[in-house]
Structure 1
Amino acid sequence: MLCTRCRIRTAVTDDGLCTFCSGTRPPPPGGAKAPVPGAAPLSGSVPGPVPGPVPGGWGAGTWPRSPVGLSRAVVALLGCVIASDLFVIGAGLHLRGLWEGLAADESLDIYSGAGLRAQELYDLAGTVQTAAFLATGVLFIIWFHRTRRNAEVFESGVQRMGPGWAVGGWFVPVANLWFPYRVASGIWEASVTLHPDGGWRTVPKTVLNLWWGGWIVSVLVSRIAVSQWNRAREPEQISDAAALVAAADALDLVAAVLAVLFVRAVTRMQVERAGIRQSATAAERAAPESAAP
């Protein structure tokens, strides 16, 4: 019988949980305390992982690669996304005000002068927003893939999907509403620092769930808003569509803030876990030297 929680491993407890989900997992053979020849610390500047496949894995390295530099770049670009969202919201609401005025007074001319400048500003804001989103998306996926490869080194047994899905999952229609979350969930579980005795420890996925929920809501509302904007013809319809687009941009801003929290949380957990592994490896290497006559 499969575990009633993760639906991956065999249940071993009376309540239908596996050793991972029940917190009774014994320390892995040679796990955190196994020496790793030539290993490089996660947060240091020494060259990356020692190449070589992990038995049973997807070809992950034998040591995690630092996600710190990538995470800082992603957070910086997410800040640009937030700024561009504010820019486009302000420009959109200003343009909406002009269309509202035209709906109330058809004698107004918004196709020249102030109206034309407002439209040009809104177009510029949209271009900036798109550029920020694309740049951030590319770097985020690179960071996401690296943390997934690190998760394979930490705990391959809790991964529900291979590292390739950390990239490809975003581009599969419909499935991209769910696949990246499954990958992120495995990353989160594998990145959690174990108990001192090697036992499994669970950290609530609140940040992960809020980020993914915010992202999905933002995407769905944005699609609806763009569809309504493209269909709008009358001034009142355009005004209503502009309001919905502004709401979608506000949701995108919230999703970007939540993404910052998610990136920082995962990066912090992976650095902590790799640091413990590095300390254990150093202690294991020092033991034979201290015991030598």
Structure 2
Amino acid sequence: MTTPMPMPMPPYAAPPGTWLRSPAALGRATAVLLGLVIATDLFACYADWLEVDVAGDLADGVTGADVIDRADHADALYGIAGIAQGVALVATAVVYLCWLWRIRVNAEVFDASRHRMKRGWVIGAWFCPVVNLWFPRRIVADSWDASAPWGSRSGHALVNAWWTLWLVSLLLGRFAERSSRQAETADALREAAKAMLLSDSLDIAAATLAITVVVHLTRMQERKVLSGEMPAPALG
């Protein structure tokens, strides 16, 4: 008598009692706050440009009261921009994680077999060193796959573009901050300001793509439930 082969277990199974809830309100709030991030980044780009301009004058040997006044003004705006970016980032991160948790729970109901990581990583992945370079992207990509229309082939081009730009912006920003602290000449300060300007510009692009990811993923989940093509309870 042939012993039947055991059925393979999915990488992750949704906990019992999991139900669908609409991510629309959290998605809208996340998109609005990402827009605030873009606004603060634009202000930061202006401050960065002033820093580049003043550092360039100093590197070229231009002196005088006017240069000193512009340097003080640039430094003040640079500090304000940094504070504004920090506040916007914290507020956005809190709401974004709430949205991502809701998305992930829904995605487990849609198709638990799509998920390679347990639900706790939805939050922990962002704060755990080293793995935070790719775990969050994997969680979003798995939720994207589970939320895609039945039978469709979901690509990750949009998710990959967002994540790549965000990582490059983050790493470049840290490099620019370190270079600015260690700068001993006007030329070095100018190069650090240029790097920060590029970092803030890339962050604008990353935030724009993040809005697109949030809106698209939220709409995919809404459509999937409204289509009635799944054996699950309605949004509640």
TM (norm. structure 1) is 0.71
- CA gap 1:164/1:277 in 2 versus in 1, 3 angstroms: farther
Q: Which residue of 1 aligns with 2:169?
A: 218
Q: Give the whole-Å Cα distance in 2 for the aligned partners of 1:81 and 1:60.
A: 36
Contact 2:54 / 2:67 at 8 angstroms: preserved in 1? no
Match of 1:113, SS state, is helix
Q: Which residue of 2 aligns with 1:207?
A: 158
Amino acid at match of 2:210: A
The correspondence for 2:43, drawn from 80, 87, 102, is 87
Q: Which has the higher contact order (CA 8 A, sep 6+)?
A: 2
Question: 1:201: how far off?
Answer: 2.0
Match of 2:129, SS state, is coil
Contact 1:102 / 1:110 at 8 angstroms: preserved in 2? no
The correspondence for 2:88, drawn from 132, 151, 154, is 132
Superposed structure 1 runs of 4+ greater than 4 Å apart: 109-112, 278-282
Find out whether 1:68 has 2:24 as its counterpart.
yes
Q: Give the whole-Å Cα distance in 1 for the aligned partners of 2:137 and 2:29.
A: 22
* Deviation digits for residues 25-63 of structure 1 (CA, Å, limit 9, x no counterpart): xxxxxxxxxxxxxxxxxxxxxxxxxxxxxx9423452x3
- CA gap 1:60/1:237 in 2 versus in 1, 3 angstroms: farther
- CA gap 1:211/1:80 in 2 versus in 1, 3 angstroms: same
Q: Which residue of 2 aligns with 1:197?
A: none
Match of 1:277, SS state, is coil
- Please list, as runs of the form range in 1=range in 2, the aligned pairs for 1:27-106 lying within 5 A after superposition: 56-59=13-16, 61=18, 63-105=19-61
Higher helix share: 2
Amino acid at match of 1:105: G
Q: Give the whole-Å Cα distance in 2 for the aligned partners of 1:278 and 1:64.
A: 14
Stretches of structure 2 that go unaligned for 5 or more consecutive residues are 1-6
Amino acid at match of 1:85: D
Find out whether 1:261 has 2:212 as its counterpart.
yes
Question: 1:129: how far off?
Answer: 1.2
Q: Which residue of 2 aligns with 1:47?
A: none
Q: Which residue of 1 aligns with 2:79?
A: 123
- CA gap 1:244/1:183 in 2 versus in 1, 3 angstroms: same
Stretches of structure 1 that go unaligned for 5 or more consecutive residues are 1-8, 11-54, 195-199, 283-293
Q: Give the whole-Å Cα distance in 2 for the aligned partners of 1:70 and 1:224.
A: 33
- Please list, as runs of the form range in 1=range in 2, the aligned pairs for 1:173-192 lying within 5 A after superposition: 173-192=129-148
- Please list, as runs of the form range in 1=range in 2, the aligned pairs for 1:140-159 lying within 5 A after superposition: 140-159=96-115
Question: 1:104: how far off?
Answer: 0.9
How many residue pairs get aligned? The number is: 225
* Deviation digits for residues 119-176 of structure 1 (CA, Å, limit 9, x no counterpart): 1112111111111111111111111111001111110011111111111100010100
TM (norm. structure 2) is 0.88
Contact 1:60 / 1:149 at 8 angstroms: preserved in 2? no
Find out whether 1:244 has 2:200 as its counterpart.
no
Match of 1:64, SS state, is coil
- Aligned-residue Cα RMSD (Å) equals 2.3
Q: Give the whole-Å Cα distance in 2 for the aligned partners of 1:132 and 1:179.
A: 23
Q: Give the whole-Å Cα distance in 1 for the aligned partners of 2:78 and 2:47.
A: 5
Contact 2:51 / 2:75 at 8 angstroms: preserved in 1? yes
Amino acid at match of 1:264: V
Question: 1:233: how far off?
Answer: 1.8
Contact 1:181 / 1:212 at 8 angstroms: preserved in 2? yes
Question: 1:110: how far off?
Answer: 6.8
Amino acid at match of 1:97: D
* Deviation digits for residues 67-102 of structure 1 (CA, Å, limit 9, x no counterpart): 100010110011111111110101111122111111
